[in-house]
Amino acid sequence: MPTFLTVNGEQKVSMRAPMTPLIDVLREEFQLTGAKNVCREGICGACTVLVDGRPVVSCLVPVGSIPNAEVRTVESLADDGELSPLQRIMEEHDVVQCGMCFPGILMALTSFFKECPHADKDEIRAALVGNICRCTGYERLIDAAVALAKSS
Amino acid sequence: MPATSAITLVMPEAVDDAVAALAEFGPDGAPLAGGTWIMRAPIRGEARRSAYVGLGRIAALQAVDLDDDEIRIGAGVTHVGLVAALSDVPQCRGLVTAAAKAANPAVRQMATIGGNLAAWEFPASDLTPALLSLEAAVELRSPGGTERVSLERFLLRRRAVEPGILVSRVVIPRRPLTTGHARLPLRKAGDYPVAIVSAAASMDGHGKVDDIRLAVGSVEASARRWPGLERALLGARLDPASAQELARERSGDFAGRDSVEAPAWYRVQVLPALVRRAVEAVLASPR
């Protein structure tokens, strides 16, 4: 049974079985490979996307459970060719290392800063508890996020 | 074990339709709430059912109603939803801490209170001991109607809940309790707690405990109350250090469970310190 979705503003139809994890639909069916397929158990956060505005781990979302939902992936952040303020500050602070965790971190922080634009360092750390960086590049990442919170 | 492509998922919009679908699927079907437990079944080497009844489109399961007598929480309310709905309720301080600290932020957006209670294989639920300390009840919907059972009773029978029965609401009786929730993950946050202690107490006019409920989670296969320690604390002033000592004397009441994260003895060993922290949280909580 098809599942209708709005993905990054575009109408999409998934023909995959309803229990297929959303991450597989995004990457394999829609060729949106920004969200990364890593632990597949909701611990690493690399597949974080927004579903109806809420950050979720797309490895644990059966596509059939979110009919007509609005999905936003990391590809939407610089949709018009302009980096988002979050992406820009991450580039300025030279945060990205291997890049595996990074799309998930951007989506987790995009949602978090919408709720808490002036968050402090501890709040930012707590918001990133579910995003694991194998390069252990946490400090520059946190510094960049703190800089964004201070400037907003 | 059915392949993902062979599993049916239906998404009803009313509780009655969900219950009817569950009854029709029988033992081959199960409810699917936030998905965070069932979607990991293949990783745990567990077989999935051949059909699931998704609950995410049922508005009635998302409601939280408060009146003078009780708090009624729809089974589909997520951890994030609990924090949003109950942060201003003093009696729910411990439950809100549990909901705000469990798992990680994305999982808290997805995992529901009903799913947390129904996933009987999951020993490290934060909500379960918090709800035990509040003497919560669970509403079960079936084609025959609605039945309300105490959470304690539900935990004993949940493994064998018959097909066609759905956890639809969790009900907390309103009492003048102060509550606290102490948990010990191995990292600072983001993983399963080794042990959890939830406490709820009320004091008489002389500051002595006239009602206390303590519940322990993650130490054994299922969360449960600690009646021996409750009796020891009743009638005296609530004091963190003496509560810790009384807990140490009685820690043999728990057997502990072994897992890859922590051995059984360690879970029991940390219990007295968590009792102290839970009591400290109760004393720091607003009345």
pLDDT tens digits, B170-192: 999 999 999 999 999 998 788 89
Q: In chain B, where does DSSP find H-type helix?
A: 15-25, 79-86, 93-101, 105-110, 113-118, 127-133, 151-157, 227-233, 240-249, 264-269, 271-284
Residues A98-126 pLDDT 10s: 999 999 999 999 999 999 999 999 999 99
Q: Confidence band (pLDDT; 50, 70, 90) for A139?
A: very high
pLDDT of B191: 86
Nearest-CA residue of chain A relative to B7? A19
The pLDDT tens digits of the residues spanning B11-35 come to 999 999 999 999 999 999 999 999 9
Supply the DSSP symbol for B46. P
> How many contacts does A have with B, using Cβ atoms within 8 A?
87
Round to whole Å and give the CA distance between B106 and A127: 9
From first CA to last CA, the distance across chain A in angstroms is 45
Residue A79 has pLDDT above 90, yes or no: no
At residue A52, the pLDDT reads: 97
CATH of B59-173, one of 1.20.1600.10, 3.30.465.10, 3.40.50.800, 3.30.750.24: 3.30.465.10
What pLDDT, on the 0 to 100 scale, is given for residue B29?
A: 96
Averaged pLDDT score across all residues of chain B: 96
The set of residues, in sequence order, having a beta carbon less than 8 Å from that of A22 and lying 6+ positions away, is: A49, A51, A58, A59, A61, A62, A63, A66, A71
Using alpha carbons, select from B83, B105, B81, B189 the residue that is nearest to residue A110.
B105
pLDDT, average across residues B192-221: 96
Among A29, A101, A107, A129, the strongest candidate for a mutation testing the B interface, having the largest count of B CBs within 10 A, is A129
Give yes or no for residue B287 having a pLDDT over 80. no
pLDDT above 80 for B255? yes
Residue among A103, A115, A109 at smallest CA distance from A143: A109
pLDDT of B123 > 90? The answer is yes
Give the mean model confidence (pLDDT) for residues A4-30.
98
| B2 has a pLDDT exceeding 90 | no
What pLDDT is stored for residue B160 in this prediction? 84
CA gap A150, B216 in Å, rounded = 41
Separation between Cα atoms, residue B19 and residue B163, nearest integer Å: 9
Chain A: residue whose CA lies nearest to B41: A41
Residues A26/A76, Cβ–Cβ less than 8 Å: no
Nearest neighbour of A65 by CB, restricted to B5, B6, B11: B11
CATH class of segment(s) B8-54 = alpha beta
* Domain residue ranges in chain B: 8-54, 59-173, 178-284
pLDDT value of position B234: 97
B59-173 with B178-284: one CATH topology? no
Confidence of residue B286 (pLDDT cuts 50, 70, 90): confident
Please tell me which of the candidates B7, B40, B43 has its beta carbon nearest to residue A19: B7
The answer to whether domain B178-284 has CATH 3.30.70.260 is: no
Q: Which residues of A touch B4 (CB under 8 A)?
A: 17, 19-20
Cβ separation of B32 and A62 shorter than 8 Å? Answer: yes
Shortest distance between the Cα of A129 and any Cα of chain B, in A, equals 5
Confidence tier at B161 by pLDDT (50, 70, 90): confident
Among residues 9-68 of chain A, which lie with CB inside 8 Å of chain B? 17-21, 40-43, 45, 48, 54-57, 59-62, 64-67
Amino acid at B15: V
The per-residue pLDDT for A152 is 83
Mean pLDDT of chain A: 96
